[in-house]
């Protein structure tokens, strides 16, 4: 591949944000080099290409870096518009609707998942669970509207909402294993539960979604690190 077309992705295996980008690249059939990052000892490349947040994912295309998962996915959709399915629909109103729900998942769901993973007190966890269930019920309704009876939020193909919510599925499954609470519950959100199975088996997603069991171990590791940091900062 010519230098000006080289695609690289700086990321970590566990991050749902990174997964979003990998799924988008897969949907478009884009070849890329994955550069695994060690967030405890950040590389020069990461610090140079994402000086604002110093976080993953970062897409480097032809030497230019694009940051923030939803910005990156929309960039991929635009650059490789003629390959694979559209990640955003053509109609402006439908695009606004897709952006709305993707932003909703990004702002509401991921923060609650983070609370569930890291907070130890029962009150915070209970509040986060309640907010998560409220969000999932709303997304169940949104799925019915957006899918119009088809397999994905995007209809026949995966769109930005599918990607954004889909990257959370195995994190939710990991939390289900740890807490015993069923988040993607067939009795409460049947359409969403079925959608989740379909998404996890989709060609573009199945190889890149981090396994729930591995995430369970990773969460235990994160919690231990959190506790150690809390102890050392209170000495």
Nearer CB in complex with other proteins: 92/149: 92
For residue 95, CA distances in Å to 27, 89, 146 come to 18, 6, 11
**CB of residue 92 to other proteins, shortest distance in Å:** 4
User: How many residues in total does the chain contain?
Assistant: 235
In angstroms, the CA 153 to CA 7 distance is 28
**What angle do the packed helices 110-118 and 122-147 form, to 10 degrees?**
150
**CB of residue 138 to other proteins, shortest distance in Å:** 7
Site string for other proteins, 146-165 (x = CB under 8 A): --------------------
**CB of residue 117 to other proteins, shortest distance in Å:** 21
By CB under 8 A, residue 133 contacts other proteins: no
The span of 60-68, 143-151, 179-187, 214-222 binding other proteins (CB under 8 A) equals: 60-68
Closest CA to 67 of 79, 56, 80: 56
**CB of residue 74 to other proteins, shortest distance in Å:** 7
**CB of residue 132 to other proteins, shortest distance in Å:** 15
**CB of residue 67 to other proteins, shortest distance in Å:** 6
Site string for other proteins, 35-54 (x = CB under 8 A): -----------------x--
Element (H, E) at 131: helix 122-147
Nearer CB in complex with other proteins: 138/200: 138
By CB under 8 A, residue 132 contacts other proteins: no
| SS3 category, 234 | coil
Nearer CB in complex with other proteins: 30/212: 30
* Angle (CA) 29 63 30, round 5°: 0
In angstroms, the CA 44 to CA 21 distance is 21
Question: Residues 63 to 102: which contact other proteins by CB under 8 A?
Answer: 64, 66-68, 71-72, 74-75, 78-79, 92-93, 95-97, 99-100
For residue 153, give every residue at least 6 positions away whose Cβ sits within 8 Å of its Cβ, in sequence order, or none.
98, 101, 142, 143, 146, 147, 159, 161, 162, 165, 195
Closest CA to 207 of 7, 13, 8: 13
Residues that contact other proteins, how many (by CB under 8 A): 22
Residues of this chain that interact with other proteins (CB under 8 A) are: 52, 61, 64, 66-68, 71-72, 74-75, 78-79, 92-93, 95-97, 99-100, 103-104, 138
């Amino acid at each position: 591949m010519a230098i000006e077309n080289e695609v690289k992705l700086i990321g970590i295996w566990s991050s749902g944000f990174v997964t979003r980008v990998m799924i988008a690249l897969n949907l478009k059939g884009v070849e890329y080099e994955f550069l695994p990052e060690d967030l405890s000892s950040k590389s020069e490349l990461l610090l140079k290409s994402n000086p604002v947040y110093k976080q993953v994912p970062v897409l480097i295309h032809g030497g230019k870096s694009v940051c923030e998962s939803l910005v990156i996915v929309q960039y991929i959709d635009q650059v490789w518009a003629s390959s694979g399915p559209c990640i955003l629909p053509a109609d402006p109103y439908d695009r606004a609707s897709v952006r709305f729900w993707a932003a909703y998942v990004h702002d509401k769901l991921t923060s609650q998942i983070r609370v569930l993973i890291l907070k130890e007190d029962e009150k915070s966890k209970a509040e986060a669970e309640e907010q998560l269930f409220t969000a999932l019920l709303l997304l169940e309704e949104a799925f019915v509207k957006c899918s119009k009876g088809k397999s994905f939020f995007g209809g026949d193909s995966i769109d930005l909402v599918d990607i954004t919510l889909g990257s959370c599925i195995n994190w939710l499954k990991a939390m289900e294993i740890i807490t015993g609470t069923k988040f993607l519950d067939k009795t409460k959100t049947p359409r969403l539960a079925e959608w989740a199975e379909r998404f996890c088996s989709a060609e573009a997603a199945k190889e890149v979604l981090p396994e729930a069991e591995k995430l369970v171990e990773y969460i235990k590791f994160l919690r231990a690190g959190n506790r150690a940091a809390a102890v050392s900062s209170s000495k």
